[in-house]
Amino acid sequence: MDFDLAIVGLGPVGAVAANLAGQQGLKVLAVDKLAQIYDKPRAFGLDHEIMRVFGNIGIAGDIAKHIMPYRPSEYHTSGARVLKRIVAASPPFPLGWEANYVFSQPAIEAALRQKAQSNPNIQVELATTVLDTVRMEGGHELHLRAASGEERRITARYVLACDGGSSPLRAKLGLEMEDLLFDEPWLVVDVLVDPNAVDRLPATNIQYCETERPCTYVVGPGRHRRWEFMINPGEAPDELAQPQAVEKLMARWLAPHEYEFWRASAYRFHALVLRRWRADNIFFMGDAAHMTPPFMAQGMCQGIRDAANLIWKLALVNKGHAPDSLLNSYEQERIPHVRHTTLVAKELGRVICERDPAKAALRDERMLAEMERNPAPTIRQSLIPGLSCGFVAAAGQASAQGDLFPQPMVSNRNGQAGLLDEVTGMSFRLVVAHDADCSSWQQAASHWQRQVGIPLVLIRLAEGQNPSDLQHDFDVLESDGVLKKWMADRECKVVLVRPDHYVYGACATFAQGTDLLHHLQQHLATTTA
């Protein structure tokens, strides 16, 4: 095979997949039909799980000036009464990053592509179209055409279809999407606000649940602000996107001289999930696998979770450390997660999109009564589930399966300090409590690595004040107590963590931990569909 992995589509999801695969040592070809990054903003929100991935890739510092913590969201009825509040989680932050952010997509994509192009394992080819894919023994043959018109064929063991909502690869294979019954037309408007006018705009994000024209206002980084307007029956989307029509829509907030028009695009907000995410050695991710209404700012997040979920599994199978059937856990894990999150976004959209005045009045009455009974806001991240099935410990073997593992700030005795992933890497990790028998766990981890051939990083959550007093290289001190509390809440002393930071399983005693380590070894060897 010419390549271990061919990635079709180099938007943010494809670029994340390429970077993660290159880090895993896979030989990657990444192609995109466009010659340049699309220079308009599309995705607008990301969360701490995605920032953790960006940190793992090594671009967190590069993108810092292009992101900003997500403002709280309020749902307003026609009389400006507050129907609902959604806020981000408060510190200490469990993953080491603020819970939610807004960002500028072109800048993030540029950082991802630059990182990919600097990796010798990754070959990036832009202005390149995939004309066809043909199944062959051991992989696929891809027929490519460059901008010059030159055509050639390459082979790859695996193919990732990151080719967008219209996905030619999905269409070629005739794969079916499950329709979760949400289809609404909206106009998205992005502007840069004049500095003198910024302070007159709302400081928080607002969903205007108004029957005349539901709309959304979102505070972006710097002077960037976004409005989303529902398109009324009889309106032509193309006409509504023209500057003069946008000026009328914006007049409620700003005069034309108070902002610089960036873009206006009409969309249909869909709720769709692909029924099969794997066809032979072709895997679908991002918009090619699912489309989520934007009311939770989770569209791009879902695609990046896809990449983080699959790439480490591809690397294990490609290196012969796990059977091909491990790859079936990709859709087993991701479909329920995506479906749940999409349904939550759909229900939030239903609140916003109600056009019937009588139904809207009932909605307002119900939600205002709920606000009175429980005025506390909804924590945005509480709406995002963990993994419910797949490559995790079986029921009865452990606890905390499928939870996201925390990432506290830690330090070790070698003077290294930073977020946990920076200190330990992204392999399988065996985390034990402070009172663990260190020599026994060193032997267990070393034996596991010899037997399985996969790195297993041992981490002991030590106690104390001074890193120089730590006894072992695998001891860490955390600065904010996040991980200690997480383990205490789950009454566990041993945690096995997957490379994508999801918990394989946790247990209450060290004896059970030894059994859990054995279960993981057996699971890797005998994974079934």
| Residue that has been written with the tokens 């009932």 in this structure | 362
235-247 average pLDDT score: 96
Residue 307: DSSP 8-state = H
Chain center to CA of 443: 36
- Percent pLDDT > 90 in the chain is 92
Cβ-Cβ contacts under 8 Å for 256 (sequence gap 6 or more): 247, 250
493-522 average pLDDT score: 95
232-237 average pLDDT score: 96
**Environment class of residue 385 by beta-carbon count within 10 Å: exposed (0-12), middle (13-18) or buried (19+)?**
middle
Q: Confidence band (pLDDT; 50, 70, 90) for 529? A: very low
Residue 234: DSSP 8-state = T
Residue 415: DSSP 8-state = S
Q: What pLDDT digit, counting tens, does each position of 361-401 carry?
A: 999 999 999 999 999 999 999 999 999 999 999 988 899 99
- Percent pLDDT > 70 in the chain is 99
497 strand-pairing partners:
429, 503
Has residue 468 got a pLDDT over 90? no
- What is the torsion angle, in degrees rounded to the nearest 10, for the CA atoms of residue 509, residue 514, residue 517 and residue 521? -150
Q: What pLDDT digit, counting tens, does each position of 39-57 carry?
A: 999 999 999 999 999 999 9
What pLDDT is recorded for position 466? Answer: 86
| Residue that has been written with the tokens 């569209």 in this structure | 299
Cα 140 from Cα 3, distance rounded (Å): 10
What pLDDT is recorded for position 528? Answer: 56
Rounded to the nearest 5°, which phi and psi values hold at 211?
Answer: -70, -30
* Range list of H helices, 175-298: 195-198, 237-240, 243-250
Has residue 79 got a pLDDT over 90? no
19-30 average pLDDT score: 98
Cα 381 from Cα 83, distance rounded (Å): 19
244-258 average pLDDT score: 97
What pLDDT is recorded for position 78? Answer: 84
289-301 average pLDDT score: 95
Question: What is the chain's mean pLDDT, rounded?
Answer: 95
Q: What pLDDT digit, counting tens, does each position of 164-191 carry?
A: 999 999 999 999 999 999 999 999 999 9
Q: What pLDDT digit, counting tens, does each position of 399-417 carry?
A: 999 999 999 999 999 888 9
**Environment class of residue 473 by beta-carbon count within 10 Å: exposed (0-12), middle (13-18) or buried (19+)?**
exposed
Q: Confidence band (pLDDT; 50, 70, 90) for 1? A: confident
Q: What pLDDT digit, counting tens, does each position of 435-447 carry?
A: 998 899 999 999 9
Detail the DSSP E strand segments found in 289-344: 290-291
DSSP result, 456-524: EEEEEE---S-GGG--STTEEEESS-HHHHHHHHTT-SEEEE-TTSBEEEEESSHHHHHHHHHHHHHHH
What pLDDT is recorded for position 292? Answer: 95
Domains and CATH numbers, the chain: 3-68+100-176+274-349 (3.50.50.60), 409-526 (3.40.30.10)
| Cis ω for the linkage preceding 408 (within 30 of 0) | no
Cα 299 from Cα 290, distance rounded (Å): 8
Q: Confidence band (pLDDT; 50, 70, 90) for 471? A: confident
Beta strand pairing status for 224-230 and 215-219?
Answer: antiparallel
Has residue 250 got a pLDDT over 90? yes
333-357 average pLDDT score: 96
Cβ-Cβ contacts under 8 Å for 147 (sequence gap 6 or more): 35, 127, 128
Rounded to the nearest 5°, which phi and psi values hold at 502?
Answer: -90, 145
